[in-house]
Amino acid sequence: MPPPTFTTVSVGTAASHASPQLLQWSCAGQLLIMMRSVIYILTPALGVNFDIDSSFIGQPPGILIRDTEPHLRWFRTVIELDMSETHRWASFSMHPSTNSIGTTSFTWRDAAWSPPNISTHGCALATLSSNHELGIWTPNNNYLHGEWSKAWLIYGTLDAY
């Protein structure tokens, strides 16, 4: 008999590169899945007694989870790479490297969790894009399944100098 499968999660996009950083757990128990242009933040709904209807049971087609096994529910939040807010480095330099493929095709490159309770509503998330844009993201209200917004964009601060 195969071991029990408690949950599976299917994401509908490809990863930008192979790295162990594409899958990370935070101190608060949230799972980060970094893909090409989307970061998924999944929070297991363990012991949560409010708004359980907004969670989902991960079960992609072709994988059968038996009814006798417990089902792990997840809350999901998505952070998309906003192409409209990208910094155009080529406008500051005539060097050919500022107009390379990496500066026109943007992807998420890395992300790192903060220590717990660094923001008002839990952890913060630092992200780095292929365009060398470093951002700090925090949850607006509910870190379980609420929207995360960009609290600080580093290049904007550096650009002022």
Q: Per the domain annotation, does 9 fall within a domain?
A: no
Answer whether residue 14 is part of any domain: no
Total domains in the fold of the chain: 1
pLDDT given at position 98 = 62
Cα–Cα distance measured from residue 50 to residue 66, given in angstroms and rounded to the nearest whole number: 26
86-145 pLDDT per residue, tens: 666 666 666 666 665 555 678 888 999 998 888 777 789 999 888 778 889 998 877 666
Domain contains 11: no
Q: Is residue 12 part of a domain?
A: no
What beta strand segments (E) does the chain contain? 23-25, 31-34, 38-44, 56-57, 73-80, 108-113, 125-129, 134-139, 148-153
58: containing domain: 20-159
User: Do the domain assignments include residue 58?
Assistant: yes
In a domain, 2, yes or no: no
Is residue 143 within 8 A of residue 155, CB to CB? The reply is no
Query: What share of the chain in percent tops pLDDT 70?
Result: 60
CB count within 10 Å of CB 109 equals: 18
In a domain, 56, yes or no: yes
Residue 15 lies in a domain: no
State the pLDDT at residue 67.
57
Mean pLDDT of 78-82: 84
